Chain A
Amino acid sequence: MFSDRVGHVAFSGRPSGNGGHTYVGGSSTYVSAGAPACRRDRETAGSTYPRGRGVRKDCAVLPRRRKSLPRGSSRRVPVPEGHDLLTRFTTTDPWVLAAGLPLVVVLLVLLVRQRHVTTVQRQRTLAAELGISMREEELAHLVDSRLPAEVDRAGGADVEVPAARHPQLRGTRFGDLCQALLVMAGTYETDAHKRSSDEAKETVRGMAAAVQSLAAEQQVAVSGMQDQHNDPAVLEGLLRIDHANSQLGRRAQALAVLCGAWPGTQRSAAELSDVVRGAVSRIRDYLRIEVRVELPVAVVDTHVEPVVLAVAELLDNAARSSQSGTLVRVHAELGHNGTSVIIDDAGVGMTAEQIARATRLLSGREPVDIRRLGNPPQTGFAVCGVLVGKYGFQVSVDGNSPYGGVRAVLFLPNALLVTAKADAQAPAGRTRATPTSRPDRVVPGTSAAANGTTPNGLPIRRRHRPVTASAPTPRAPSVPSAPRHEVRDEPRTAEETASAIRSWQRASATGMTDRPLAGNLGDQPTEDLRP
């Protein structure tokens, strides 16, 4: 490149009117166009100065002819007729002078013009060299600083791409090419990043689903063992296994949610207190959580599992960021537009940067990159953010707890809530068995004699109250403006159950002897708590 430039500069010194045009378009154009430009120079020179060439030829011949003459004989030797014009040039013939003067003038004009052209050419060369070095600097700046920053930025890093070093190149072909290169690199990196992230998410999602499935299977197995085994020591072991398994399931669920999957379990509508305590079930320090949620609201079926997972992540954060001797308190408050679950801890609190990061994540609008969650991974707010974005509730952690820590609030709009069903409760006005009325005494009083028997000897079952009257009255919603639909009642109410049991006991009593059952307890250690 350097040698090309030198060669061209050497040629550009020739009398040429268009030599400078060759390096206007940039360094690459300049380098490649060097040789043709030289050719053009030579051709142009030949065509522009035809007379000059003739003059030079004549001048070149002239000394030779003059040398061939003897010194001092020029005036004495007669000039023959038709002598060569060159010979006459050497004489002092006025005609010769008259003819030579214009030539000299032309030569002078040409010389002046040549000097002008050379000056212009030199200036252009200088400008070109300046432009080249500027472009080289800009290119180096692009490669060293701007492209790496752009690639990082496209990859999700929070960096700023430096501006061009020579803004005067903006708008030139070179500047446009540099910008196009930068944009192309950024686009390529963004695409590659997204592709890679999607592939990683796909893989992790599959693995998380497998772990979730195993945890669910294990949960059912543990529940079965809890039901089958009566040994308290076995039960305590099973409770520990269940606790660990619940945490395992939550972790896998969180991972699946981060990778774009749904929480993986469909449940029926659940009371808010059960939702919160379900979340408590899934964290390590569950014994430090104090739940005071007694509102007659339930979460709709499609949102139970997402809300449980979000509350569990918030509770886990609260418990981990507070000392082991402190409590994490949870309560709920009804509002006009919805219900809030409020979690207060007495922990270390959060810095302004942490709150800003959490608020950004919890907005639900920021895409989550599972490769940037850190080690140990900080998944809590990220999971909540994904759930917020998908399921329409809100989470904020920018409040102060009255215990000095952080107050996290999960707000459930009315659209996600239904009225909770009433607890299984004995209907009002029902005659309640007194503690002194033992079953063996109550049952004979309403024995088969009064109720009658079937031809097969079975007592005829009779309800104490009609089924319709036994349905518990659902509590009135606290927010009348909220359109809530009722949760479906269970097939059997407590009243029906108790009635059925009494019928069964009556049936059993028909075959009993008249001996009082209380007297037949024998040596059984069952405690009688009658007053």
Chain B
Amino acid sequence: MTPVPGGRALVRSHVVTGGRGTPSRNTLDHVTLITASREDVEGLEPETRRLVRLCLGGWLSVAEAAVHLGLPVSVTKVLVADLVDSGHVTATAPAAPAGAPSPQLLKDVLDGLRALL
């Protein structure tokens, strides 16, 4: 059985978001890419601090960040929106469908992975 993210987490989601379920912006998606734009994490809660440090020097999708934080994606979106508001994180849209790799390439990748494993 796949473990549920945050299934029996010690710190519950309502404390992480302060009881809010709605992100301050509705532009975030599972595949929105985020990166840290500020290194100072003073005054941030542990989860947001962890999120900023996670994104230092690279780009992560919201879904990936959620997995690393052990939080549900919807909760992570609330945090990311807060961090975008405070200027700690920069978010950008993922690759558009038109720019996505072709199905043939994906198939090749899949075949290659299978060959490896």
Residues of A within 8 A of B (CB): 216, 219-220, 223-224, 226-227, 229-230, 232-240, 242-243, 246, 265, 267, 270-271, 273-275, 277-278, 280-282, 286-287, 304, 308, 423-426, 430-433, 435, 438-440, 454, 456-458, 494, 497-498, 501-502, 505, 507-508, 510-513, 515, 517, 520-522, 524-530
Contact = CB atoms under 8 A, between A and B. Distances in A.
Contacts of A243: 12, 14, 19
Contacts of B78: 235
A281 B15 contact: yes
Given A243-B12, A521-B93, 6 more contacts: A220-B8, A224-B4, A271-B46, A426-B53, A505-B59, A524-B93
Closest 10 pairs between A and B when the two form their complex, measured CB to CB: A526-B93, A511-B105, A236-B21, A235-B21, A458-B112, A232-B22, A498-B58, A511-B101, A278-B10, A426-B56
A219 to B, nearest CB: 6
A393 to B, nearest CB: 17
Contacts, number: 211
A520 B98 contact: yes
Contact of B6 (A226, A520, A525, A527): A226
Contacts of A224: 4, 7
B56 A432 contact: yes
Interface residues of B, number: 69
B42 to A, nearest CB: 10
Given A230-B73, A424-B54, A529 B37 contact: yes
Interface of B: 4-15, 17-23, 25-29, 32-33, 35, 37, 46, 49-50, 53-54, 56-60, 64, 68, 72-75, 77-78, 84, 90-96, 98-102, 104-106, 108-109, 111-113, 115-116
A270 B73 CA distance: 22
B58 A433 contact: yes
Give the interface SS of chain A, mostly helix, strand, loop or mixed: helix
Nearest to B104: A511
Contacts of B19: 236, 239-240, 243, 286-287
Contacts of B60: 497-498, 501
A473 to B, nearest CB: 14
Contacts of A432: 56-57
A528 B10 contact: no
A421 to B, nearest CB: 11
Contacts of A265: 8
B9 A232 contact: no
